[in-house]
Amino acid sequence: MSAQPPLVNRRVIEALLRLELPNEPDRRLVLVHGRYESGAAAEFTASLAEDKRRIEVVEQHSVLGISDAWHRHQEDATGVGSVLVVTTTVEDEQLGWDVLGHALRRQVLSVDRAEIVRLRFGATGLDPRIRAESWLVNALLEAEPHGGWPRLGSVLTLDAAMRALVEARLSISQASPDAAGTRGDGRRDTPLDADTLLAWSRSPFGPAAYAALAKDEQQGMRDWLTKVAGNAASLLLDLCAAGRGEEAMALGVVGSVVAGPAPSAETGLALGGLFGTIRPKPADLRPFALAVEGTLIRWLLQAEQAGPEQHAAHNRAREVLDQADRQAQEAGLTEALAGNAYLPSGFQARLNALAAVLDPSGPRTRDLAAAEAALEELRRHHLAGLLRPRVRTAEAAVRLARWLAGPQPTIASVADAVEQHLADWGWVDAALTVLWAGDADAQEPVSAAYHSVYHAARGRRAVIDEIFARYLREWTRTATGQTPAGALLVENVLDTIAVKLAGKSGRAPLILLVDGMSSEVAVGFGEELARRGWLETGPARGRRTAAVAAIPSLTRISRASLLTGSLTQGGQSVEKPGFEAFWSRQRRSAVLFHKADIGGAAGQRLSDTLQRELAGEAVVGVVLNTVDDSLDHAAQGDRTRWRLADVTYLDELLAAARLYSRPVVIVADHGHVLERGEGLDAPAAAGNVSAARWRLGEPGSGEVLLTGPRVLEGDGRIVAPWREDIRYTPRKAGYHGGASLAEMTVPVLTLLPVDADPPKDWHLLAPEDVTPSWWNAGAPTRDAARVAEQTDTSSTPAQPTDGQEPMEETREAAETSTPSDGPSFGTKLVASETFRFQRKFVRRSLEPAVMAAVVDALVAADGVLSLTAVAAAAGKAGRNADGFAATLQRLMNVEGYPVLEFSDNGTRLRLNVPLAREQFQVDS
């Protein structure tokens, strides 16, 4: 017998009785070598075989005590089934036969703890390695959960036993933020990898539970988890054992300094000081730091995606990174970790680097390439997704820097100005709005750089508005519906756009008048609509349609003029009959809905009447007031961009239009300017104020005198400011009625459902067509899209039927697109043996010349084009763009390699040029 008697508890006693008592069921005395657990039940009922037996446990360490306990049990026991268990350190030789003769197996039983473990897991066999690990056997007996160990198979393996012990001791299943699935017993099947252990280290009780274990159990778990979860587990558990588990992930982030250039001696000492007595070797620290980074990447990705884990993942990641930043600061490692792609201080360092090349006072003021590189570094920081508003502000600054680095804008006429405003300067206004809102967490150098870029861009925009005001002053004097001098007037939008879109037999359009929608708002809507799969079209190749508002640019004038098709003013009583009369002249029925007519009853967003009309044949017009209403607020809010969902009912109306295959016209009646907190009260306005942005009298600085037949207030003579910062009434969120381009430009977005054809002589507008070249560095823009335009010889698609080849005109156009100085990349690709072989297995394949044009268009756009632009390159005008793209993929993706892939939620195609070169064996 051992000098140190084992500790036994109720579960050990029950297991021993189940194992031994069935062999001698009539025995009522069981002698067990050991000590009974303090506080354990002295009496209980146990299920043994098919019977329930009353069990009494006593501890006696003398012969007399054992004998007395047995005689007393015989006298007091009720029922023949009761069993007395005596735990003792008395040896067999010391006991007489008066006791041993009644005892089970006539001896003091030694507890086979490994066998007890087997029984507690309900197994028929036991991995011999478990028996060899006495610490494991003892731990399994001590740690058994309240509901018992799970049944893990007929043979209890070492790995199964270790996993069960780890989960029970450390509560890893409960601490893990997510799990891979569930086992057959309904329990969570949490992977025991480094990711799970790191998440567990942030739990409130897990690391403390590990620290409280006996040293041999700690070591056993550490060895096994290192084997299962990788080398990162050993350092993590060392930190937990030292009571620093909650700091472990942050230390791993700071420890990444060893993965960079050879750290200095000072860096090594500072890092060693952070880890204290643990003193990890670089060989141990590197895998730990990499594991921490991997877990952080997963959390950061979860934090960027909508879902139940988004908020929790965001908090977990930021807590770790903020803690790491504090550790780095305390240890003097902030500078050494400035390039870290996780730390908030690293993000700030990258922002500061960007500011250094944006600040006009710096030595590299005009180094735009440096600004581009700095912005790209900022985007690569792993916090960029969580800090998206801050990144957007930086992007706006660089975009404006690109625009400022371009040529000085020129204006040839009012018509030219409003077209350029929608095509280019409205995007400038969008970037200015973001930059004006600024970055609340930016440090002074960054704020100063943003301030300088903002004012430089605002200065150029003010010059554009001043020049436009001069043209507007002269144009307004004579401009009429009959003599617009090349400009599209707001009252002619329906006739020029909506009527042509409907055609003689086309589906009736849905006309959505977004009151007050500026070009800045419209270009944002256009980007979002393209991502949703809407096709944009228009009468002009490569540009959107813009009209000129009535004067002054007020709702009651411009909206009434647009909806009635004539220069007029008034409210709903003028707009509704005027809208119906206009379409009646086109031999179509029409109905117009204002705010009170749109909403439905409980459970439906749109009214029954509106839904019925949308399903019918009439032209439907809907006035949406959200944007204009927002301008009436007392102060400008924090909105830096408008989304489709921000305009009440717009999402539902677009969905209905798609459902009923209606083309859509999204149009404004006028634009607006925003309150920037710099409003000026014009002295000359005293006594002559009529509205926020126009008045009577004589013009002063920043104002223009407008006279003529298009001026419907002031007896044909008003003064309106072209400067955005002039207002004549108390502050609001924004204003309209003035003479700036932002107010006078009426943007028009004309949309087709997927697979619809544009009107005759109209053109599809790919996103590249309508995005200015300076908006996205390196991204395909309208300049790159010109390659695709070279092959777009028809506004209607070439539709081959089964077995037919594309139209001859398309083939000829594609052939003529080859540069004269030698075969293009696309020409070489389609001439390859691989392409010819691949083409045999693709039904309704493309002609090689057309395929070459598509490849060349993608190459010219740095490998990325929208589906619309790719279809245009093939002369297919967007018809069934998804199916066409699938055909291209079957031709290009040899043996499944991703040569051509969808990107940006399926709205663009991305060509991997190096992989295409390799797959089709095209030389340089």
* Three-class HEC string of 567-603: CCCCCHHHHHHHHHHHHHHCCCCEEEECHHHHECCCC
Is residue 178 domain-shared with residue 326, that is, in the same domain?
Answer: yes
Residue 59 sits at φ, ψ, to 5 deg, of -115, 125
**Which of 111, 130, 160 represents a domain boundary (last residue)?**
111
Q: Give the integer Cα–Cα distance in Å for 173 and 202.
A: 13
User: Does residue 337 form part of some domain?
Assistant: no
Q: Is residue 109 within 8 Å of residue 87, measured between CB atoms?
A: no
Q: Give the integer Cα–Cα distance in Å for 443 and 306.
A: 30
Quote the radius of gyration of the chain (alpha carbons, Å).
39
User: Does residue 774 form part of some domain?
Assistant: no
Is residue 175 domain-shared with residue 297, that is, in the same domain?
Answer: yes
Give the structural domain span for 446: 344-405+414-474
Task: DSSP for 611-634, please give it.
Answer: HHHHHSSSEEEEEE-HHHHHTTSS
User: Does residue 120 form part of some domain?
Assistant: no
Q: Is residue 454 within 8 Å of residue 526, measured between CB atoms?
A: no
Write the burial class of residue 500 (CB in 10 Å: 0-12 exposed, 13-18 middle, 19+ buried): buried
CB within 8 Å of 224: residues ≥ 6 apart: 159, 162, 166
Q: Give the integer Cα–Cα distance in Å for 759 and 506.
A: 9
Structure tokens at 773: 């070249």
User: Does residue 707 form part of some domain?
Assistant: yes
Is residue 470 domain-shared with residue 556, that is, in the same domain?
Answer: no
- Give me the pLDDT at residue 817, please: 43
Q: What secondary structure letter does DSSP report for 337?
A: T
CB within 8 Å of 822: residues ≥ 6 apart: none
Is residue 213 domain-shared with residue 273, that is, in the same domain?
Answer: yes
Q: Is residue 464 within 8 Å of residue 413, measured between CB atoms?
A: no
- Give me the pLDDT at residue 471, please: 97
Is residue 383 domain-shared with residue 520, that is, in the same domain?
Answer: no
Q: Is residue 406 within 8 Å of residue 500, measured between CB atoms?
A: no
Structure tokens at 432: 């200015």
> What residue ranges of the chain have pLDDT lower than 70?
1-3, 49-50, 77-80, 174-189, 258-263, 359-366, 504-505, 634-639, 679-687, 755, 778-821, 876-880, 905, 924
Distances (CA, A) of 821 to 718, 730, 817, 824: 59, 64, 12, 9
Is residue 561 domain-shared with residue 648, that is, in the same domain?
Answer: yes
pTM: 0.78
Is residue 375 domain-shared with residue 494, that is, in the same domain?
Answer: no
Is residue 722 domain-shared with residue 814, that is, in the same domain?
Answer: no
User: Does residue 712 form part of some domain?
Assistant: yes
Query: Which is nearest to 661 in space by CA: 755, 796, 544, 532?
Result: 755
Write the burial class of residue 485 (CB in 10 Å: 0-12 exposed, 13-18 middle, 19+ buried): middle
Q: Is 677 left (phi over 0), alpha (psi -120 to 50) or beta?
A: left
Q: Is residue 21 within 8 Å of residue 27, measured between CB atoms?
A: yes
Is residue 666 domain-shared with residue 701, that is, in the same domain?
Answer: yes
- Give me the pLDDT at residue 1, please: 46
C-alpha angle 837/850/825, rounded to 5°?
A: 75
- Give me the pLDDT at residue 547, please: 98
Q: Give the integer Cα–Cα distance in Å for 907 and 911.
A: 14
Distances (CA, A) of 172 to 178, 292, 320: 11, 17, 19
User: Does residue 223 form part of some domain?
Assistant: yes
- Give me the pLDDT at residue 359, please: 65
- Give me the pLDDT at residue 674, please: 93
Q: Give the integer Cα–Cα distance in Å for 229 and 541.
A: 59
User: Does residue 143 form part of some domain?
Assistant: no
CB within 8 Å of 236: residues ≥ 6 apart: 194, 197, 198, 201, 245, 248, 288
Is residue 308 domain-shared with residue 374, that is, in the same domain?
Answer: no
Is residue 305 domain-shared with residue 388, that is, in the same domain?
Answer: no
- Give me the pLDDT at residue 92, please: 87
**Which of 304, 330, 356 represents a domain boundary (last residue)?**
330
- Give me the pLDDT at residue 26, please: 84
Write the burial class of residue 482 (CB in 10 Å: 0-12 exposed, 13-18 middle, 19+ buried): exposed
> HSE (CB half, 13 Å, CA atoms) of 183?
13
Give the DSSP H/E element, type plus range, for residue 746.
Answer: strand 745-752
User: Does residue 147 form part of some domain?
Assistant: no
Task: DSSP for 37-88, please give it.
Answer: PTT--SEEEEEETTEEEEEEEEE--SHHHHHHHHHHHHHH--STT-EEEEEE
Q: Give the integer Cα–Cα distance in Å for 252 and 329.
A: 15
Is residue 655 domain-shared with residue 733, that is, in the same domain?
Answer: yes
Q: Give the integer Cα–Cα distance in Å for 838 and 456.
A: 54
Q: Which residues pair with residue 720 across a beta bridge?
A: 704
CB within 8 Å of 629: residues ≥ 6 apart: 515
Q: Is residue 509 within 8 Å of residue 662, measured between CB atoms?
A: yes
Query: Which is nearest to 201 in space by CA: 172, 231, 227, 179?
Result: 172
- Give me the pLDDT at residue 819, please: 46
Q: Is residue 720 within 8 Å of residue 466, measured between CB atoms?
A: no
Q: Give the integer Cα–Cα distance in Å for 41 and 54.
A: 12
Q: Is residue 872 within 8 Å of residue 878, measured between CB atoms?
A: yes
Total count of domains within the chain: 5
